[in-house]
Amino acid sequence: MRREHHPPRDGWEKKIESHGLAYHRAAHPAGLDRPYWDESVHYVFSLDEVEALEEQVEELHAMCLRAVDHVVSTGRFADFAVPEWAWEEVARSWERRDGHLYGRFDLRYDGTGPARLLEYNADTPTSLLEASVVQWFWLQDVFPDDDQWNSVHERLIDRWRGLRLPPGPTHFAFTNADETGEEAMTVAYLQETAEQAGLATVAVAMEDIGWDALNRRFVDVEDRVIRSVFKLYPWEWMLSDDFGRHAVRHSTWIEPLWKALLSNKALLAVLWELNPGHPNLLPAYLDSPRDLTSYIAKPLLGREGASMRVVTPEGTQETPGDYGREGYVFQGFDPLPDFEGQRPVLGAWVVADEAAGLGIRESTGLITDDTSSFVPHRIGA
């Protein structure tokens, strides 16, 4: 694994926008010098490294599924801040093995040892379009003789074909609250993969999904029945209002309700409890840091690196945010590796239950947040 430099393509902005990355100008907070998509640098991996990472990712995913089974069978929903009224519905979703689509593992990796799990974005992962499509076209333009860890697009199409969905169109839901356009474009991309798989689809805003109380069903603005729906809207948000009480019992949701357990950082502590000392895990606890001298406190339902606290013998660093009311997990702190002053986090994609590809985000700080930049990668000598 190494970091290399290469001149950006002429007109790269228009190229990536033509591939759907229309939100790259708005993806960063204002005032940053570095663009969100930065193809002036990239990472190079050996084939052996990629094959080893694939194996580790699939092992991590299998461990996560066993963790869900443990939480459901032992009734540990309170550890995940799941409201009590939803416990039985989460259990039923898992027992039915409601179909799921994809997820993204965030990993610490420097090329010299096993990857370490930082968190699993298994409900509403983004940076998908960048990893699946945009960096692939970069590779074809710049390094056409090389390869890339990237079968995301093809695997998504295959997965849509394999999902058992009820009859009628599948709705694809975004939220009007998305100001950058990232969510709308990600949903549109996934809708396109579903259509390539032969599904009939309909776009809808979450805010326009209605509840037909008489017939006890969800409908869209044209009064079409919503029987299956993909959403980029977190389950914890849905469970926090009255909408969720209907959602857990009606319609087929992708991602399914049991994914609320995998997208919760309490998962990190359960994984360590069930697999102590595993080389792909960092120590993690729910009650306190215990004997950890360096750790990061992560809110169970935090997003974008907000409301985190890094504690080391040298001092404490915190990120702003309003998360943490539900509690924290305390995870051993292993700083991201330093490559020329930048710290990469590997986003390893899983489609269905198989490793599918890689996206990389870089930041200068110890925590990867909304100031990070996406950089491409290739497999080379």
Per-residue pLDDT of the chain (381 residues; tens, 9 = 90+): 999 999 999 999 999 999 999 888 766 766 678 899 999 999 999 999 999 999 999 999 999 999 999 999 999 999 999 999 999 999 999 999 999 999 999 999 999 989 999 999 999 998 999 999 999 999 999 999 999 999 999 999 999 999 999 999 999 999 888 878 888 899 999 999 999 999 999 999 999 999 999 999 999 999 999 999 999 999 999 999 888 999 999 999 999 999 999 999 999 999 999 999 999 999 999 999 999 999 999 999 888 778 899 999 999 988 888 888 889 999 999 999 999 999 999 999 999 999 999 999 999 888 877 788 999 999 997
pLDDT of residue 323: 87
pLDDT of residue 159: 98
pLDDT of residue 196: 98
Q: CA-CA distance, 91 to 74, in Å (whole number)?
A: 10
Judging by DSSP bridges, how do beta strands 328-332 and 295-299 pair with one another? antiparallel
Q: What share of the chain is helix, strand, coil (3-state, %, to 5)?
A: 30, 25, 45
User: DSSP code of 183?
Assistant: H
pLDDT of residue 365: 80
- How much is the pTM? 0.95
The runs of H, that is alpha helices, within the chain are 12-18, 47-74, 87-95, 128-129, 135-142, 152-162, 182-196, 235-238, 242-247, 259-262, 266-274
Q: CA-CA distance, 117 to 129, in Å (whole number)?
A: 22
pLDDT of residue 178: 80
